[in-house]
Amino acid sequence: MTKNALVQWILAQMDQRGWSQADLARASGLSPSLISQIITDHRAHLVRPPAEATIQGLSGAFGVSRIQVMRVVGEALGVPTNPVPVADPTLLSDSQLMRELERRLTAPRRGRPSTMVSAGEDYFASETSA
């Protein structure tokens, strides 16, 4: 039976460091019995996320961010965790970047009043003195 992504990740992290379950318990501040429960979980997916203390303990023990642990937890829960592709602005010419900036600055803002100052408008004119 396939172990869930969290168990696989923890085992890989432990293997990289040559750690035993006791070593992980000491480094994370989590109980040895909790570490054992996590590692011996043979479900393909978690049914609920671990407690925040567990996430923080794993994060601290392995020297990774809480976000990195949460990404693995999400995968173990069966949540798609593919990163959203982001365009690389260095691949655009200056004129393409300027056109996109102009488009964004002049587009109507949905649900929010514009805070843009029109050419020739005095930004401070609408402020009141306290």
- How does residue 111 score in pLDDT terms, banded at 50, 70 and 90? low
The model's pTM: 0.63
The pLDDT-based confidence of 17 (bands split at 50, 70, 90) is very high
**DSSP conformation class of 90:** G
CB 76 within 8 Å of CB 4: yes
From 53, 44, 52, select the one nearest 75 (Cα to Cα): 44
The CA distance from 83 to 71, in Å, is: 10
- Residue 59: what pLDDT? 97
- Residue 47 pLDDT grade (very low, low, confident, very high; cuts 50, 70, 90): very high
Residues 87-108 pLDDT 10s: 777 888 899 889 988 988 988 8
Q: What is the pLDDT of residue 46?
A: 93
Token pair of 47 as six digits: 């049914």
pLDDT tops 80 at residue 113: no
The dihedral region occupied by 111, where left means phi > 0, alpha psi between -120 and 50, and beta the remainder, is left
- Cα distances from 124 to residues 99, 109, 117, 129, 130, in angstroms, run 28, 22, 10, 10, 13
Contact partners, residue 116, CB within 8 Å, separation at least 6:
105
- C-alpha dihedral (105, 107, 111, 117), degrees to nearest 10: 40
Reported as a single tens digit per residue, the pLDDT across 56-96 is 999 999 999 999 999 999 999 998 777 677 777 788 889 98
State the pLDDT at residue 109: 72
Q: Which residue has the tokens 């992980």?
A: 24
